[in-house]
Amino acid sequence: MNETLNAAIENTVAQLRQRLGARAPRIAVLLGSGWHPFAEQVEDRIDIPYAELPAFPALAVGGHSAVLRSGRIGATEVLVLGGRKHAYETGEADGMKGAIRSLAGVGVQLLVQTNAAGSMDEAMPPGSLMLISDHLNVSQRSPLFGEPGDNRFVDMSNAYDPALRQSVKAVAQAQGTALHEGVYVWFMGPQFETPAEIRMFRNFGAQAVGMSTVPETIIARHAGMRVLALSLMTNMAAGMQDEKLSHAHTMATAAAASSRAVALLSAAVQALEI
C-alpha cells in the first residue's frame, strides 16, 4: 500500500479514536444520492468534516455533505458517511480506500451502502427500492490495483452478505415496503449509458445500473467487512422510456422517494446482527 496513504489512515484512525471516545460503532452507513435524510435520524451526533480526516477524500458531486456523523439510530451505534468519491471523477477506483480502511481500523465490521440507480426492469419503476444481491464490474477497474501480497485476491462469491439480506427482506415485509432484489451493474460514467449498453446489461442478467458502490464493496471485503447495499431507482435506464437523463433529474426523483427509502434503512440498521 502507498506509504502516504498508510500514514494518512493511521492518522485518521488515531483522530477518530480520540474524537469518538468510548463510542465504537460496528456499523457504517455510506449515503448515496437520495439517502442523505437518513443522517437526520441520527441522535447524539458527533460531526467530523471529511476535510479534517487525512484519509478521507474531497467530494465534488452535488448532494453529498462530506461529513462523517457518529451517533445512534435507536439503540444502534452507527457511523454515517455523507457521500463518496466516484471513480468517474479521476478515472481511478480507489477514492474511498483510505476512508473505508480507516473505518475498519476503528472496529467497523459492516458497511451498509446506498445509491441511486437506473432501473432496467419494467417491474421496478422510479421510486422502487432494490436490495443488491450481486454486481457486474463492467468497468473492469479495481481499487486493489497495485496492492502487494496474496490477500489482494479477494473472494467475491458472497460480496453482499446473504444473512444480512434476509434480515432486510424481513424488515421490509414487516413494514409492508416493496423491496426488489437483483444484480447491480457498475458503469464508470460520468456520461449516462447508451440504449445499446443497457440492452447488453439486461442480457447479462442485471436489473439496475449506476456509477458507484462496486469499488467500495471490493475495498470493504478486502478489509474483512461484511457488506449490504440498497439502490433507489431514480429513472428507467436509457432507451426504456422517452425521457432525458440528467443528474438534476436523478436528484429530483431521489428526493421525492427518499422518505420511504430512509424509513426502510433506519429500521434495517436497527435489526442487523453482526
- Sole residue written with cell 458497511: 111
Taking the C-alpha atoms of residue 224 and residue 120, their distance in angstroms, rounded to an integer, is 31
Nearest of 129, 145, 58, 132 to residue 95 by alpha carbon = 58
Please give the torsion angle defined by the CA atoms of residues 257, 259, 261 and 266, in that order, rounded to the nearest 10 degrees.
170
Which cell numbers hold the place of 31? 449515503
* 99, 81 Cβ separation under 8 angstroms: yes
Burial class (CB in 10 A: 0-12, 13-18, 19+), 43: exposed
- Sole residue written with cell 479534517: 52
Backbone angles phi, psi at 105, to 5 degrees: -65, -25
Known catalytic residues? 33, 64, 86, 88-89, 116, 211-212, 235, 247
Pairing of strands 180-186, 208-210: parallel
- Sole residue written with cell 444473512: 163
Alpha helices in the chain (DSSP H): 3-20, 97-105, 162-175, 195-204, 214-222, 247-271
